[in-house]
Amino acid sequence: MVNADKDTAQKRIIAVIEWAISSELVDYQQGVAVMEARAAAIAAKTQNQLVWLVEHPALYTAGTSAKPGDLSPNALYPVYKSGRGGQFTYHGPGQRVVYLMLDLRELGRDVRAFVQSIEHWLIDALDAFNVKGVIRDGRVGVWVDRTLIGGPRHEDKIAAIGLRVKKWISLHGISLNVEPDLHHFDAIVPCGIREQGLGVTSLVDLGLPITLAEVDEVLRQSFQRQFGPVQSVSPPI
């Protein structure tokens, strides 16, 4: 005999994507612990999917492909090993980090298509601020082409993508530079990119004095166009 109430409850959990914004700085290790616990619950279909927007104190994270030589011995901030893909990156105030705990069993079980969906989401959000985000083969993330006509190449990364998928549930996510201190990137080779003419930028660096609240609303609208409706909830911590 089928338990109709339980079946209906599971369908409701799968369908809902919760959207939470933390207003205070979130400790990195505590945030990761919460994210991993939530992902396990999503895999078990006991909790809803979650998109969690945070800011962290200034720190560096080393992805699974990080190379020790890409971190300066004079780095001023803590370094944490991360289970996400990629190399070194920086997180800190003024940067919107978005943790994506989404169920790829409901999104086609296609990791490549999922990453492309995230790229399209970010590009669509940047377009709302008249910023043209671009994707480059061999370079993860979203870039802004600032090359002047006739001048040397000048492209800066504005958003990083670093994911892990476990039991078809995504962990970690994206970071979008709104108004971080870009000098803090100097202590690392961001994402292992050493090529001449490549760097990092932010919305404020591009001359756009946009607040995190404004960015959050645009991210939400763009996310819903790409992935479907969300439901606002209190942050998990």
Q: Which of 191, 215, 219, 230 is catalytic?
A: 191
Q: In the annotation, is 175 catalytic?
A: no
Q: How far is residue 96 CA from its own chain's centroid?
A: 8
Cα Rg, the chain, nearest whole Å: 18
B/e letters for 112-124, b = 16+ CB within 10 Å, e = fewer, are eebbebbbbbbbb
Q: Got the DSSP string for the chain?
A: ---HHHHHHHHHHHH-EEEEE-SS---HHHHHHHHHHHHHHHHTTSS-EEEEEE---SEEEE-TT--GGGB-TT--S-EEE-SSSSSEEEE-TTEEEEEEE-BTTTTTS-HHHHHHHHHHHHHHHHHTTT---EEETTEEEEEEE-PPTTS---EEEEEEEEEEEETTEEEEEEEEESS--GGGGGGB-GGG---TTEEE--TTTTT----HHHHHHHHHHHHHHHH---EE-----
Which residues have a catalytic role annotated?
A: 191
